Structure 1
Amino acid sequence: MKRLGRGLGAILEDAEAGYLKDLPNSGVSEIDVLKIKSNPFQPRREFNEESINELAESIKKHGLIQPIIVIKDKKDDNYILVAGERRLKATKKLGKDKIKAIIVDYTVDDLREYALIENIQREDLSPIEIALSLYELIKKHGYTHDELAKNLGKSRAYITNMLRILNLPEEVIEKIRKKELSLGHAKVLVSLSNEKTKEIAEKILKENLSVRETEKLVKKIKENKKDDYLNEDIIKITEKLKENDIKVEIGKDFIKLKYKNDTDLEKLKKLLGINN
């Protein structure tokens, strides 16, 4: 599988900086502005109208110095914008029909993959959003934990720990999503059984426990009640099952596998090596 690595990322960074170190083979083209679609995988951003007007005046006076970056939409005769939304808006404001563009040889899947990698770096994402993005990169794009760590400039432990919070009970995940519980709290809770996790999560909220206080509480539970926490092997088994889209519920003395339909059942049979 092709790895984006610095490929598309380098082109985007160079484009936004106002120059290209690696000009794609396709060169610069003049394309119809009406044929350019917004990037569906990037979060919506606010654009300062005054800034767009100033850019429009600059383009009117000096022309468009830096082309926008697009990919070809295989479904029709249109293009998908990759970089240069401000330039495109300013060009449209001037009433121009054409705009200079560099058409890069990437697919919509590549664009989705790059957007996921880029969005993980955003500071306003919740831990759950980051964890789900990491999971999608592994599941749909074939990344290993080591590859993700290298691409994101993170440690392998960071990747593993972020993914582990997806093993938490849904009620607890929702509290993390709403930022009622922090990532620090989540990392402490992952070693507990589902029922104990729910109990401690409620205690954290009720008593406004810090991460440090939660660590002490969980440590005490582990020392006094061995059955209330899960060892590393149980956590790894759960992670492996979830990687294969098997719904899992874990407790102090059980691992429960769930399925809703024949598709889920077939996944489970395939994982266990059971043939019809």
Structure 2
Amino acid sequence: MEVHQIPLSDIEVRDRLRPATAEYVDGLAGDMDKRGLRSPIEVSECDGEKPYILVSGLHRLMAARQLGWDVIPAFIVSGTDKELRLDELLENLQRNELTRLERCLFVAEYRRLIQERRPETRRGGDRKSGEFHQSAADGTLTSWWDDLAVRSERSRRTIMREASVGEKLDPAAVSKLSGSPVADNLGELEVLSKFDGNKQAQIADVLAATNAPVPTVGAAIRAMEKGGSSEELPGPDDVAYNKLLWHWRSASASVRRRFIVHVLEDKDLP
């Protein structure tokens, strides 16, 4: 595929699955300033105010803008809105820095889009149709999770579990949990998803409370049943621990190694 030098001013950014993270953009900009852009972004031609719309590579695009670049290397791809959305989902799902909450939501949307495009992948689909048998005969019939399993190196069981959780989570609860430690705990998200929408939102309020977040869905429910008494909620040390644990789980392997070295060399520890 040919790489094009696209003016940054010609690229429109529309609704994105993930907003750009300032810290990540800063780090990427530093690397791009030294080594250039090693992986082109993807854009698609459109009939909007600008000639191109971003398909994948938001952080790379923002870093290029921060560096004051005039143009950026890009692949020009084509497809329907759904096909381009699937490309964006796959690109994001290959990233290790996603929280469990983000991964569940993205996998759920990916399954929905795939099953809209390929109804035969749905459980209970028309497996007697001629189209189904022809697809099976020529080897093009695949399960919706196949690309995810290959690209993200995750098991079918984990992918199916994430999709189920993502489909059941209430949007109001999701918006409250995005910055909490629970956002990176699949087990707790799965427990939360078993409640109805209103209950999820109420539990999320307690889980995400900035004054004293509780670590589990069960603890949040107990606090709610007892009127949310501060005596039942964790103290400052518990809050600090939960936040540290969340950042640890979100960190890359290299960042974890640096942190371990720092702890081992810290002379002030008792």
Query: Is the TM-score greater than 0.5?
Result: no
* Band the TM-score falls in, shorter-chain normalisation: 0.3 to 0.5
User: Computing the radius of gyration over CA atoms, which structure comes out larger, 1 or 2?
Assistant: 1
So what's the TM-score if we normalise by structure 1?
Answer: 0.43
